[in-house]
Amino acid sequence: MAIVITGAQQRATWDLTAGSTPKAVGHITGGGDMTEDPRSVESGIANQGSFFAGAVAPRARLQGRATSDTKALLLHALRGAGSLTELKVIIGTTAVNFAIANALINSMKLSGQAGQPLEFDLDFLGLSDVETAAGISPVALGSELLPWSGSTITVGGAAYETESWEAGIENGCEHHWDLDSKSAGLKRLPSVISTGIEAVSLSLSTRKQIAWTLAADAPVVNIAAVILYTDGVNSLTLTFANLSFAGNRGLPLQAGSGKSLWQYNLIGKPGSLVII
């Protein structure tokens, strides 16, 4: 009888690249092993055709809803010691797994809205993607989902009745390949991953207006924002420092009795987000 794989048989964990203790991510709802094997047929004259194997770029993505376990992974999206930590993301089933190793978190997106769980979306770039014929044991979660009802959000120390928000970190990671001779099975894999300048962003949809003079001679800077989710025991806090307004500052027009919220976009300098 054919086997149908469902979410019940799927697994995803993470660890440090040299680690041996798989860790829970949170409630995983999407993502997977995103590595592609680029192949093409290159043509020439006289109906010539040849297969060509391009450069392999190991990649993984994890999407889901945050529990107390999620914070430990999110911390590695930041450069606390000046550089990103190399990780290992293991994705698979009860029968097989794919390990994306020497991986860096290229981007992190966190978002929340009233009445909904705190969500995360992580993009990883790695140096290898190895398949092993062994299942992944599930790792128990440390808590329930962090509740939206236990959240507080402030900008400049004041609450503005925020109904939704999204925070982002872009690390500008990029694969690099070289022409040096490599070991068999590794010849099309990248040799290093570079990182760019960290880009921090925060967007808010609020019912109350945040004071912002668009025509000010100097930009408004040093804006602080704090987003806290807690169940009374476990917590996740995003602390932003030195933000500045950027982009649209609008109250979209809304016909009839539909609700219209103030939309704000803020950007931060490298290192302006701390997770505790």
Q: Which one-letter DSSP state was computed for residue 96?
A: -
Helix (H, G, I), strand (E, B) or coil at 93: strand
Asked, for residue 171, whether it belongs to a domain, the answer is: yes
Range of the domain at 81: 7-32+54-135+145-275
Tally of domains within the chain: 1
Q: Tokens for 133?
A: 């014929």
pLDDT at 215: 65
pLDDT at 12: 94
pLDDT at 1: 59
Asked, for residue 233, whether it belongs to a domain, the answer is: yes
**pTM (global) more than 0.85:** yes
Asked, for residue 1, whether it belongs to a domain, the answer is: no
Other beta carbons within 10 angstroms of residue 33's beta carbon come to: 21
pLDDT tens readout for residues 91-130: 999 889 999 999 999 999 999 999 999 999 999 999 999 9
pLDDT at 35: 95
pLDDT at 119: 97
The low-confidence residues of the chain, meaning pLDDT below 70, are 1-2, 215-216
Asked, for residue 90, whether it belongs to a domain, the answer is: yes
Q: What phi and psi values does residue 249 have, to the nearest 5 degrees? A: -130, 90
Asked, for residue 22, whether it belongs to a domain, the answer is: yes
User: Alpha-carbon distance 239 to 251, whole Å?
Assistant: 26
Q: What is the residue-wise DSSP string for 108-155?
A: EEEEEETTS--EEEEEEE-SEEEEESS-------SSSPPPGGG-EEEE
Q: Tokens for 215?
A: 């025509």
Pick from 167, 226, 193: nearest CA to 100: 193
Pick from 62, 57, 102: nearest CA to 83: 102
Q: Tokens for 149?
A: 């009802």
Asked, for residue 222, whether it belongs to a domain, the answer is: yes
Asked, for residue 101, whether it belongs to a domain, the answer is: yes
Asked, for residue 41, whether it belongs to a domain, the answer is: no
